[in-house]
Structure 1
Amino acid sequence: MSVEAAAIDGKPVRLTGKPLIFFLTLLAALGMLATNMYLASFPSIGRDLAASPAQVKLTLTVFLLGFAFGQLVIGPLSDMLGRRPLLLAGLIVYAITSVLCAIATHIDWMIGIRIVQAVGACTGSVIARAVARDLFQGDALTRSLAMITTLVAVAPGFSPLLGGIIETLVGWRGTFAFLALVGAFAAAVVWLRIPETHDARDSAPKLGEAFASYFELLGTRAFLVPGLSIACAMAGLFAFFASAPIIFIEHFGVAPIVFGTIPCFTVFAVFAGGFSAPRLAKRWSGMKPILFGLTIMLIGASAMFTAAYLNYAGMPQVLATLMIFLFGMGIVSPLSTVVAMRPFPEKAGAVSALIGFCQMAGGALGTILLSLLPFPLLQALPTVMAGGAIIGLGAVLLFGKRS
């Protein structure tokens, strides 16, 4: 059914083609928007709500935890109940909780609301991938998931800048008001343009069975190898986000307003990798494109570490080696998502949820390791990046061919 087609029997008109892909990208990016856009507002939130820096950071921590674990419930529920009703409910929750954050008068209130907001956000992320798996097959699935994953990876490059602009113009409450508008817009599009894409039969796994299937999937090489590759890629990416302000502002002396533009440039490397991913998948079969991407990641991380160890790590060298790493990550992340989802069409929701959990768990582990390593930050960052690439390479080389 085309976008222009009339509704039949009161059913929504289906989006198709690029409009559908871009909308699924918006759904998948809701979590990134809710975590990155308000980072520049931490000081003003602390002042307005009389909160300590640790309390303000807790609003981010509880969101990440709610997002990670919420996916494990939302995925199988979407297999049981269908995509559309759960997606509508999640978007409404996201919009309402964003409004409640915008009018919050106490930090404890905001911390509690952020947990619920994370559940709404992860609904969009999980179901976006599941809908793509429902609607696309073969090369079309590879292209669609590659584009969605790549565009979502680009979001952290621009969302802090957008959040900083809103903070400057109207304050931190305006950022959450903007998120509420995004959630309301997405809910309206789902209501009007997105029909159900999954036939929730009685044979769909029950919630308890779905949790058991997580352990089954983690014990299956067909999922574990690409899932581990995703986690390793995200470890390096989140380690970069966590260390970037210190490296560029404190170490290199970049002005904060200039720093806000740096991610806008580095994400083009991610986009270039994602653009290359489906083309590499056509040329090489199996895990070879992922192996290539992990190798590029290792080259970039090793070059950064070598430059830092030799005291030759100026800002041009750091940016150049970082973009090499991010190019490889842009290949690994979307193709690993495709490889992980393709063998399990009947469990698309659960697989999508577990992929999202791997992303968040890998990212969290990367930031934790970054703070624990007894090295200068310019050496610790490439160590985490290289370590993730090596683990991913080992998994693919040892088990990838038999997965």
Structure 2
Amino acid sequence: MNNPHVPMPLLSTVALASPLALNLFVPAMPDAARDLGVDINTIQLTFTAYLLTLAIGQLISGPLADYFGRKPVLLWGLALHVAGSVLAASANDITLLIAGRVLQALGGSTAMSLARTIIVDVHGRQGAAGKMGYMVMSIAIAQSIAPALGGFLNLWFGWSSTFLLPLVIGTGVALAAVKWLPETCQQKSDGLRPGRVLAQYRQVLSSSEYLGYALSTTFIATVFYMFMGSSPYLVVDQLGGNSAQFGSWFLIVSLAFMAGSLLSTRLAQLLNIDRMIMLGNSLSLLGTLLLLWFALQHQLSFWTLFVPMAVVTLGRGLSQPNAQSGAIACALSFPNTAAGTASGLMGFIQLLTGAVMAQITPWLMHQGLVVLMGCMVAAPVLAMACHSYSWLKRQRPAAITANL
């Protein structure tokens, strides 16, 4: 059977829907908290719940798509994303707003997961690599412009307007998928079999080497989530800025991550995976140390907040793809373990940890800026420790073989 044709622009737009929706609302959170009469800890639930739902959605969307088919599950996911956008845009209390964000994330996680799966269905594992680059770039661009766009929308039209763009994009993509997206699942599974899926996850988690790489990229990501959970309030409450200024300065952070990712591909021929991870983690540690230094010197400004964070994300761009590749390679040493299983589990660990840290961040801010920045420093230190453990375990069998 010939593989069906699937337009890449359609899949790229499907994949960026969730990252765009997540980051559009972040600059508007302080204003939404004031309008709804809630404190920082409560409004933070709109961010935390989104991340937590993304984590859970990555675990369940794959098995559902294997059983029911890609297209129906994707269309239901987009419908949930649109419904969540409508609910959040019309919310007049925090409960409805959180519920809308959960629906947005549940549908968005399905879209992100299945866009990758459909590419593999159509092009195979080898051919999918080049096509996946277009999707990654579209997601990176969406993450870069979303805070700036959301900041200006909030400033001009109010925080509810940040949900209108996801509504329009979700509706347009759903209609396009109905017309142009074929079913790409050639052989559906004969049952959901959650026991088999759980057994695969347990097998992957039994690998301490896999956990070392997965936790390394997770700890670096927690710096980003702590920054996202604190910087909008620091800009508004301590620097006297507004949501548009936050979004504009955040472009530096996003562009640094894109530069790191691009540099990672250029350095791949010069440095192996582990050296690239160590280089990236070292840069991230340098960025967090700068944040801590400026906090100790009471020199908080737009420059001292966003430029050091750009150094952190530059390092993350170098380390993240390599740590993910290392983790998946470790997991594939087990029989009957698919790359999707290892990747989905790693995404779950990262997003779950991010959700927890994002919710703790307001409490850390209450303890003081030095405490918050100190926790950011601890994250890359833990990342380097986890990676070093996995690196040493990988070198040990090679050393034993060389001595035989």
| TM-score (ref. length: structure 1) | 0.80
Which shifted more, 262-271 or 77-86?
Answer: 77-86
Query: Distance between the aligned counterparts of 1:127 and 1:222, measured in 2?
Result: 28
**How big is the shift at 1:235?**
0.2
Query: Distance between the aligned counterparts of 2:386 and 2:308, measured in 1?
Result: 24
The equivalent position to 1:187 in structure 2, one of 163, 174, 178, is 174
- Please give the secondary structure, in 1, of the residue aligned with 2:6: coil
Aligned residues: 388
The equivalent position to 2:220 in structure 1, one of 230, 233, 244, is 233
Aligned pairs (5 A) from 1:205-224:
206-221=193-208, 223-224=210-211
The equivalent position to 1:399 in structure 2, one of 386, 390, 400, is 390
- Please give the secondary structure, in 2, of the residue aligned with 1:13: coil
In structure 2, the partner of 1:292 is 279
Aligned pairs (5 A) from 1:119-158:
119-132=106-119, 134=121, 135=123, 137=125, 141=129, 148-149=135-136, 152-153=139-140, 155-158=142-145
Q: Is the Cα contact below 8 Å between 1:369 and 1:384 reproduced in 2?
A: no
**How big is the shift at 1:316?**
3.2
Aligned pairs (5 A) from 1:56-95:
57-95=44-82
Which shifted more, 331-340 or 179-188?
Answer: 331-340
In structure 2, the partner of 1:161 is 148
**How big is the shift at 1:30?**
2.8
Q: 1:153 to 1:363 in 2, by over 3 A?
A: farther
Aligned pairs (5 A) from 1:1-400:
13-15=5-7, 20=8, 23-42=10-29, 52-53=38-39, 57-104=44-91, 107-132=94-119, 134=121, 135=123, 137=125, 141=129, 148-149=135-136, 152-153=139-140, 155-202=142-189, 206-221=193-208, 223-311=210-298, 315-341=302-328, 344=332, 347-368=338-359, 370-371=361-362, 373=364, 377-400=368-391
Q: 1:324 to 1:169 in 2, by over 3 A?
A: closer
Query: Distance between the aligned counterparts of 2:63 and 2:170, measured in 1?
Result: 22
In structure 2, the partner of 1:5 is none
Q: 1:132 to 1:231 in 2, by over 3 A?
A: farther
Q: Is the Cα contact below 8 Å between 1:62 and 1:115 reproduced in 2?
A: yes
- Please give the secondary structure, in 1, of the residue aligned with 2:272: coil
Query: Distance between the aligned counterparts of 2:88 and 2:237, measured in 1?
Result: 31
Query: Distance between the aligned counterparts of 1:44 and 1:324, measured in 2?
Result: 28
Per-residue CA deviation, residues 332-375 of structure 1 (Å, 9 max, x unaligned), is 22333344445659634433432321231232343355445589
In structure 1, the partner of 2:399 is none
Which residues of structure 1 form unaligned runs of 5+? 1-7
In structure 2, the partner of 1:4 is none
Q: Is the Cα contact below 8 Å between 1:28 and 1:125 reproduced in 2?
A: yes
Query: Distance between the aligned counterparts of 1:47 and 1:373, measured in 2?
Result: 20
Q: Is the Cα contact below 8 Å between 1:156 and 1:263 reproduced in 2?
A: no
Q: Is the Cα contact below 8 Å between 1:243 and 1:377 reproduced in 2?
A: no
Q: Which amino acid aligns with 1:14?
A: V
Per-residue CA deviation, residues 131-175 of structure 1 (Å, 9 max, x unaligned), is 45554646963x665664565355444223322333455544443
Q: Which amino acid aligns with 1:164?
A: G
Query: Distance between the aligned counterparts of 1:381 and 1:156, measured in 2?
Result: 24
**How big is the shift at 1:399?**
1.4
Which shifted more, 371-380 or 331-340?
Answer: 371-380
**How big is the shift at 1:301?**
1.7
Query: Distance between the aligned counterparts of 1:28 and 1:379, measured in 2?
Result: 37
Q: Is the Cα contact below 8 Å between 2:32 and 2:159 reproduced in 1?
A: yes
| % identity of equivalent residues | 26
- Please give the secondary structure, in 2, of the residue aligned with 1:283: coil
Q: Is the Cα contact below 8 Å between 1:13 and 1:192 reproduced in 2?
A: no
Per-residue CA deviation, residues 179-218 of structure 1 (Å, 9 max, x unaligned), is 1221122223434444445544548872222123222222
Over aligned residue pairs, what C-alpha RMSD do you find? 3.7
Q: Is the Cα contact below 8 Å between 2:294 and 2:300 reproduced in 1?
A: yes
Q: 1:396 to 1:269 in 2, by over 3 A?
A: same
- Please give the secondary structure, in 1, of the residue aligned with 2:268: helix
Q: 1:355 to 1:243 in 2, by over 3 A?
A: same
Which residues of structure 2 form unaligned runs of 5+? 395-404
**How big is the shift at 1:275?**
0.8
Per-residue CA deviation, residues 318-345 of structure 1 (Å, 9 max, x unaligned), is 4332221110011222333344445659
